[in-house]
Amino acid sequence: MPRRNESGFTLIELMIVVIVVGILAAVAIPMYQIVPERSKATEAVAALSLARTAMRAYYAEHGTYVDAAFTDGGAITAGGILGVTDGDLAGRYFSTECYTFDGAPTIATFRVKCAGASSTAPRASEVPTVVATIDQNGEITQEWE
């Protein structure tokens, strides 16, 4: 009796495909879980850029970043010196309380930090691990603790 030409996949071939797909999923899923948090952090970066602009304007007027209101951990809205208001910083994920000086500014340097853990914004629970900073050069650092 002549042999039929059978087409299809063997069980071994199907198992190999399932294993390869499983390995790819195990690698890809953790990489993509951080993406939503990073996209939410753009709100903080935009507000930090606003703070940097205000600080640079202050420097242009006074020739220094030092002021009695600018203290380590102090709010950047303190005393209204920079002209940055609570409304400028309030967002969906980050609130005004997030934006503070990271160390006391010196004559030529400053760092402003936004810590998601300090947020009281409506969706703050989605960004508790986000920490972003900006310095006088506009260098932005983002961390997920």
pLDDT digits (tens, 9 = 90+) for 102-133: 999 999 999 999 999 999 999 999 999 999 99
Residue 71 resides in a domain: yes
Where in the sequence is the domain holding 114, given as residue range(s)? 39-144
- Across the range 135-139, mean pLDDT stands at 94
In a domain, 27, yes or no: no
pLDDT surpassing 90 at residue 46: yes
Q: Are the C-beta atoms of residues 99 and 51 closer than 8 Å to each other?
A: yes
Asked whether residue 31 is domain-assigned, the answer is no
pLDDT of 23 higher than 90: yes
Q: Is the pLDDT of residue 56 over 90?
A: yes
Q: Are 116 and 104 in contact (CB under 8 A)?
A: no
> Look-up: residue for tokens 């600080």?
55
Domain annotation covers residue 103: yes
Tokens found for residue 120: 């009281």
**What percent of the chain has a predicted confidence (pLDDT) above 70?**
96
pLDDT at 1: 62
The answer to whether position 118 is within a domain reads yes
Given a contact cutoff of 8 angstroms between Cβ atoms, the answer to whether 100 and 46 are in contact is no
* Percentage of the chain modeled with pLDDT above 90: 70
- What pTM does this model have? 0.76
Amino acid letter, residue 10 = T
Q: How confident is the model at residue 62 (pLDDT cuts 50, 70, 90)?
A: very high
Whole-number Å distance between alpha carbons of 50 and 56: 10
Q: Per the structure block, which two tokens stand in for 44?
A: 């903080």
Tokens of 138: 């506009």
pLDDT confidence of residue 2: 65
Residue 96 belongs to some domain of the structure: yes
59 Cβ contact list (under 8 Å, min separation 6)? 65, 136
Domain count for the chain, please give it: 1
